[in-house]
Chain A
Amino acid sequence: MIEFNGVTKSFGKRTILDSVSLKVEEKQILAILGPSGIGKTTVLRMAAGTVKPDAGQVRSDRQRIGFIFQEPRLLPWRTALGNVTLVLQGRGLTRDEQVGRAGAILKRLGLQGFEHYYPAHLSGGMRQRVAIARAFVLDPDLALLDEPFTGLDIGLKLSLQQMLLELLAWHPCAMIYVTHEPQDAVLLADRAIVLEGKPGKIMASMDFDRPRGERDQSYIQEQAAKLTAVLTAKKSPVGG
């Protein structure tokens, strides 16, 4: 479980987030939507523990955190395998165990045969798959996704989303997913919140009651339309 209680954060004189409260239960997926610069990524950074709140509390019992950034952020001088094993270092695993685990997840993501390729020699979609492998090789109990499919073509995006769903079915974990796309939120999340205003506050919250595997296109369209209406309407802040 991870919980934000009345979290406020400023950078310099600019307050980014104001009294944000939210809770993500075990194996629950929360989507965060809102305009650029509203503080969505700051929420992720605080959940990851790299940014501290100025006021309020972030409480987490998460030990292993997987992070997928908008861009793959791979070390260019390490191979796909080297990039995945990197995050396993210092975790009490032998070199063979690290390579075994990294190789298995790369294979699961369709990168068998590309383990020894450098990022520059892989396509954009393959690089993002390596980044997904790096996040999930840890068996994370919290996955943080910062618009990981932005800028990808629609075919690639759908295929990566499918891979992510398969990974979540194989290894369910709590997840916070930042996105601009209401449809993506409905496809993946159990719940969505909308950040709005300056400074950012939670303006709306929406639950998707139908199980992920049973969400057909019409359900996704219908819920996405509701979410879009929330995003475009002006509302008063609500509690997380």
Chain B
Amino acid sequence: MQVWCMNNWLKAKKAMPLVWMITGTVAFTLAWQMMARVYGPLLVATPAETLESAVRLFTSPPAVAAFSRTLGRVLLALGLQIMAGLAFGLLAGFYPWVEDLFKPAVSILVAVPPVALALFVIFVFGGGERQVVAAAVALGFPLLYGGAVTAVRSVDRGLLEMLRVFRVPKATQLLAAYVPATLYSLLPSILLAAGLTVRLLIMAEVIVGVDRGIGQALSQARVHMATAEIFAWMLVMAATVLLIEGVMLYLVKSHVLAWQARR
């Protein structure tokens, strides 16, 4: 009897996070429903209308094309951010003068509000797909760059001494030790950057008014006062962030971190 009770208690304990998550979702949906009642359908769509509109979006070829286009831009911007952050972070980690050289530009990128940077991009370089991706890369770059600098400087000194003692060529040292160590330390930042990039890129799409993409679809929905559609795109954006983070976490856990101790 005692064992049975203990087993059930343990099962219940394991299920608790799920219970709290469902409770949170229900509470959020209820609050949303109440807000829709208070403000009316013109300002706030109900959860049911939003869901219905989201389903409609995914059966509409132009909406699917807009989603695919934005997703492609997000992945491109994220890839460029990782490459640039890693490359410049490694350089700045090795050579303090490079860090000093980058300091003013990075400080400005961190301090300037994203909207201001997107507007700057339109004024200086004009509106276009490349400019939107460039703006998203510039906005996400400091996060990955800063993480890479810290990561390079915290590579295990013992491992580095081992590489020197065995006279491992410099290029191999870089590829076999520095890049993996930095990349693994950067994983939390990369996950954070993925979510940030979706938000920044769609914001840049809206501001720049680039052809095709979620940003343009949002702008059009706003013009047509299609509140449910705006809410549906917001839902799609949240789902996209969760999807990218989920896929990346899965890839990281199943492939990249295969070398970590089993828990």
User: A121: which of B168, B177, B262 is its contact (CB, 8 Å)?
Assistant: B262
B260 touches A120 (CB 8 A): yes
Known contacts A65-B165, A67-B166, A89-B169; decide if A76 and B176 are in contact (CB<8 Å): no
Residue of A at shortest CB range from B256?
A77
Q: B168 contacts A50, CB within 8 Å?
A: no
Q: Is the interface of A mostly helix, strand, loop or mixed?
A: loop
B260 and A76 contacting across the interface, CB-CB below 8 Å: yes
Contact partners of B258 in chain A: CB under 8 A: 118
User: Taking A120-B260, A121-B261, A121-B262 as contacts, is the C-beta distance between A71 and B165 under 8 angstroms?
Assistant: no
Q: Enumerate chain B residues within 8 angstroms of A48, measured Cβ to Cβ.
A: 165
Considering only CB atoms, which chain B residue lies closest to A76 in the complex? Answer: B259
Cross-chain contact A77 with B184 (CB below 8 angstroms)? yes
Contact residue among B158, B167, B176, B261 (Cβ-Cβ distance under 8 Å from A78) = B176
CB proximity of B171 to chain A, nearest CB, Å: 8
Asked, given contacts A73-B159, A120-B260, whether A90 binds B180 with beta carbons under 8 Å apart, the answer is no
A86 CB-CB contact with B under 8 Å: yes
Chain A residues whose C-beta falls within 8 Å of the C-beta of B259 in the assembled complex: 76-79, 118-120
With an 8 Å Cβ cutoff, the count of chain B residues facing the other chain is: 20
Could you say which residues of chain A place their CB within 8 Å of the CB of B184? 77
Contact B177–A90 (Cβ < 8 Å)? no
Name the B residues within 8 Å of A118 (CB-CB).
258-260
Q: B56 at interface (Cβ–Cβ under 8 A)? A: no
The answer for the CA separation of A120 and B257 in the assembled complex, in Å, is 11
Contact with A along B155-170 (1 / 0, CB 8 A): 0001101101111110
CB within 8 Å for A67 and B162 given contacts A76-B259, A76-B260: yes
- With contact pairs A77-B259, A120-B261, A121-B261 given, residues A69 and B169 touching in the complex (Cβ less than 8 Å): no
Q: Is A168 an interface residue, CB under 8 A from the partner?
A: no
Cross-chain contact of B162 among A69, A77, A138 (Cβ < 8 A): A69
Is A75 part of the binding interface, using a Cβ–Cβ cutoff of 8 Å? Answer: yes
Chain A residues closer than 8 Å to B161, beta-carbon distance: 50, 73
Once A78-B176, A86-B176, A120-B259 are accepted as A-B contacts, the answer to whether A73 and B162 lie under 8 Å apart by CB is: yes
Shortest Cβ distance from B165 into chain A, in angstroms? 4
Across the interface, do A87 and B166 meet the contact criterion of CB distance under 8 Å?
A: yes
| A89 touching B168, Cβ below 8 Å | yes
- Spell out B's residues near A (CB within 8 Å): 158-159, 161-162, 164-169, 172, 176-177, 180, 184, 258-262
